[in-house]
Structure 1
């Protein structure tokens, strides 16, 4: 008689440590609750992701502990698994709701839009963030899953822009995603939408040119991007008709807005020192804002340890290191609070501009004229 299979004690310990990062999966049922009930429940997803996690940050505080840098992928299995499971969970929820909501008689137009606003909150806050983790990995499966998540929000070029442009030029005028000092989000947003698409395409075109291939070569990932996005739009049309397409566009727009809000705060006002001849110093931890708030890092799989992510981009999220105030600038609150503040430019400047000025005095006391660094420069051609 065979004995029941049990999980070894060391695996149970790893699972216990990873479980807080699985909280994001709890957002999926909330989307269905909103769709099946309507009314006030349509605000559940924004309330939980923006406000509940802000409260949890205040209650549970910060986490200054660091993961083991010697950990293998096997050691990190339970952490990695949540990013893999999220992809089918998001796809089933998004396309299932595109079928269910347009034909639900108990929902009016406002409720339908509100539901997909909430869906966009999770496809942006969680889905795009998980795609960010997956795109940084070297195996083809995880990179494909990253592409699938981005196609669901019509922002596939983010992979090219992030890997080929942002990480290379972060905290310089060549990076569209680095928010300039005193640049409000409402100016940043339309600028980055335009410039990041152009810079991503140019970066891929330049890579092909170095291989003596034209941009029209089928190895250009933009063809895959466009194909996957077209499939998502066709699926929305088949499942929900033109109403389904409209609702799909609502969630995609909200998701993109959520992503760019995060991009805005991650490097606001921070610049690498210009060394002359178009060269800048190497990226260091102090070129990204760091946040050690525990609950929002559970939701965002340590994205707020952004200083270490740019310093060591290959590290998986469980082993991203935290930096103290003597090594990297610190945000006063986690991303949920900071993104809400970013929507109110006077409040944002009041919170962040003194911190940027203090950062400049701390790390670059020899620079007395910041005029050129303050300019909202157009990225130079590559």
Structure 2
């Protein structure tokens, strides 16, 4: 039954398409599902704290079914985006309808698409890395492939990590810091990689150069094709593409914000930090949202064991636990006073427990 649950991500594009063709208030169907129905189901349905038995992990890891779902999603997302170009180029939307549609597409490309790209980007297989880059190209955030794997995972829960939110830092302050510093960090990491090979950072082997060009080329090609087909300059296509991209990676940064809020690793006498363990990221084991997000909410286990595929990630009781799934917590993060009121006491309580355990 759990296998079928991972197909629930396909509900989002289905609701997006249905909303457009029904029109009116139905265009908000996908938003209602993500931010109302999913949190409600998360609240009503028992949490999933079941882990794959150790003796079955190897077998479940190798099952092709779980990879197939992520591969299918790549083509679904590309189809949704091309269809989105057609819609904005041919429909007469009011401003509110355009906002509903563009943000709805971002829930698909950012909410699910970047989650899948995150999963695939951690894999060693070339085809999975390629698919990860394709998905990130569709949201203009290809540098995430470098910064997340080589930067964030090494520096998580430290002041050096742009993607770790600080205690009492609002999401809006975090967004600017994470987006700008993460981007610059990716350039630095890529320059370091090339320097070790004796190459200039302006070498054609610099992935960051290509990562800037691919989204622009994709947008330009789409603009050209639709302009030819409709016999006019379809300016709506690039405006829509870049707007949904910003909204999509904003969703990613919201997730980053709540996954690592206030987390700190101890600094050691040698200047380094203690090893990353399951206590250094917030965890959430709400069943429904974990299906939608390919168990991304078991984030504490992912950071402790990044090589593990999503289907075998574990729940850890000792990990700090979010009070709700990501859908609800994202809404909360948009209102800093409410976020601080809910999360700061939990953070301080968790820190006291960790301090008491370390003394023992």
- One fold, TM greater than 0.5? yes
* Counterpart-to-counterpart distance in 2, 1:344 and 1:50: 15
3-state SS of the aligned residue for 2:268?
A: strand
* Counterpart-to-counterpart distance in 1, 2:108 and 2:87: 18
User: How much has 1:367 moved relative to structure 2?
Assistant: 9.7
Kept in 1, the 8 Å contact 2:186–2:208? The answer is no
Kept in 2, the 8 Å contact 1:179–1:264? The answer is yes
Between 151-160 and 273-282, the greater mean CA deviation after superposition: 273-282
1:147 and 2:133 equivalent? Answer: yes
Aligned pair partner of 1:248 in 230, 241, 252 = 241
Kept in 2, the 8 Å contact 1:35–1:101? The answer is no
Q: Which residue of 2 aligns with 1:339?
A: 330
User: How much has 1:35 moved relative to structure 2?
Assistant: 2.5
Aligned pair partner of 1:315 in 295, 308, 317 = 308
3-state SS of the aligned residue for 1:286?
A: coil
User: How much has 1:223 moved relative to structure 2?
Assistant: 2.9
Kept in 1, the 8 Å contact 2:114–2:135? The answer is yes
User: How much has 1:276 moved relative to structure 2?
Assistant: 3.3
1:123 and 2:116 equivalent? Answer: no
- 1:32-181 to structure 2, matched below 5 A, reads 32-69=17-54, 70-72=57-59, 75-105=62-92, 107-181=93-167
Kept in 1, the 8 Å contact 2:147–2:186? The answer is yes
What 5-or-longer segments of structure 2 have no aligned partner? 228-233
User: How much has 1:68 moved relative to structure 2?
Assistant: 4.2
User: What TM-score comes out, normalization by structure 2 length?
Assistant: 0.93
Aligned pair partner of 1:351 in 342, 346, 350 = 342
RMSD over equivalenced CA pairs, Å: 1.8
User: How much has 1:226 moved relative to structure 2?
Assistant: 2.2
Q: Which residue of 2 aligns with 1:28?
A: 13
Equivalences, count:
350
Aligned pair partner of 1:299 in 268, 288, 292 = 292
* Counterpart-to-counterpart distance in 2, 1:84 and 1:302: 16
Q: Which residue of 2 aligns with 1:380?
A: none
Q: Deviations over 1:184-220 (max 9, x none)?
A: 1111111111110001110111111122211112222
* Counterpart-to-counterpart distance in 1, 2:244 and 2:24: 19
Q: Which residue of 2 aligns with 1:195?
A: 181
3-state SS of the aligned residue for 2:324?
A: coil
Q: Which residue of 1 aligns with 2:3?
A: 18
* Counterpart-to-counterpart distance in 2, 1:214 and 1:67: 46
Aligned pair partner of 2:355 in 356, 361, 364 = 364
Q: Deviations over 1:221-269 (max 9, x none)?
A: 1133123212321134233621111111221111011100000000100
Kept in 2, the 8 Å contact 1:286–1:329? The answer is yes
* Counterpart-to-counterpart distance in 2, 1:179 and 1:155: 19
* Counterpart-to-counterpart distance in 2, 1:252 and 1:34: 20
Change (3 A) 1:198 1:78: same
3-state SS of the aligned residue for 1:218?
A: coil
Kept in 2, the 8 Å contact 1:133–1:316? The answer is yes
Kept in 2, the 8 Å contact 1:309–1:315? The answer is yes
